Amino acid sequence: MKLRAFCDVLEKLAPTRYAAKWDNVGLLLEPADCFVERVLLTNDLTSRVMKEAVDFKANIIISYHPPLFREFKRISQDNWKDRIVTECLKHNIAIYSPHTAHDAWAEGVNAWLIEGIIGHSNHSPISPTIDSRETYEISGKVAESVNRKSFRKHFNKTKISDSGDISGRIFKRDLPKLSEKYLSEIENFQLLCLGSLPVVGTGMGRKGELAEQMKLNDIVDITKKHLKLANLRLVTANDKTSEDMVSTVAVCAGSGASVLSHAGKVDLWITGEMGHHEALDAHENNTSVILAEHSNTERGFLESFKAKLMDNEQIKKRDIQFVVSDVDSDPIKVV
């Protein structure tokens, strides 16, 4: 599969427009004439993972964290990230990073994280994503001469009844096409600007209720099992113990204090890391916190993402091999 076609699949699964504005996501390194046959997935693209990718003969590395973030003024052998860039170019390996697009994705990192804890998919984003594309509600009636199939293809969020009545939504970018091709063929045409709307199920962090109350220490055990960890750090809420019951949980993979602070009143936060003062605030506000270290709350999603890719209809038609890095790990160990 051609590199751009493969990236289109990644984009359709988790649109990069849903990523945080400060982030650097998408296709970060594009070698000439790159054809995708072997894909390596990793949370962090380190020098050890780079060697693994070369040995695997990968054509593209999907690195959750973007290894290229700040502007490059020169590329030398003095910095480990520079060396990774030159190694990728030398071996014709592309780099794609989804990062916060996967955080926001309805089937992404945070959904995987909370579902492994609460055991069901009834959860919602803490900070919903607002679609930056201006949206319009359209109504009217198309003439008999209009090709209905072609209209629906151009405006796939709309419906046309048997009698020709139009309903649905279009984006601002669609207006020139609508005006040029169809406007003269629509009776009783109306267009209502809806502005920018929340994207259903998409956004940063997740919160939800347990089907049944559980003791905090039991949730700690479930979290260890889900993340495949022997140790965690625990902040117990003020005047609570690990034997106290938990009903509501909020999660944010990685460094989640800023997102979790908007979760409202919940019994437990789960994230990778936070500072002393954020942990103290949670404690004093009667919220317990599980800290698993930054990338430990993200890395487990890679196997789930690999399965989604292998199940994609466009990819199933191609002979593409996927592997999750064996050497990628969080640099911080709790001992």
Binding residues for a divalent metal cation: 65, 103, 294, 298
Evaluate the CA torsion angle 250, 255, 259, 260 in order and state its sign.
positive
The answer to whether 121 and 183 are in contact (CB under 8 A) is: no
Q: How far does Cα 75 stand from its chain's mean position?
A: 29
The answer to whether 56 and 323 are in contact (CB under 8 A) is: yes
For residue 221, give both structure tokens: 């055990």
The alpha helices in 155-208, defined as continuous H runs, are: 175-181
Q: How far does Cα 16 stand from its chain's mean position?
A: 8
Evaluate the CA torsion angle 13, 17, 23, 24 in order and state its sign.
positive
Residue ranges at the known binding site: 65, 103, 294, 298
The answer to whether 204 and 252 are in contact (CB under 8 A) is: yes
Residue 226 CA to residue 301 CA, distance in Å, equals 10
